[in-house]
Amino acid sequence: MSDRPPLTAGTIYTETVVHSPPEPLVKEAPYQIAIVELDSGSRVTGRIEGDRVSIGDRVSFSGFRNEVPFFRKSS
């Protein structure tokens, strides 16, 4: 059983764009990371794919990559 909260949808609590990443992620820069306040009340840090998000935007969980949660801006 996992200690992870169920990831579905939530709201951007805070965000930033990484321009100077660690060596393994250099080819992906710049990329956006955010703390997402899930609808369950938990918060999780994840990557944003697709359109950039701002504080207060709604996002949906789109999957894990290398154990990192990815979110996408909701329509």
Tell me: the pLDDT tens digits for 5-48?
678 899 999 999 999 999 999 999 999 999 999 999 999 999 99
Query: For residue 1, what are its two tokens?
Result: 């059983």
pTM of the model as a whole: 0.88
> Which domains does the chain show, CATH number per domain?
1-59 (2.40.50)
pLDDT above 50 for 1: no
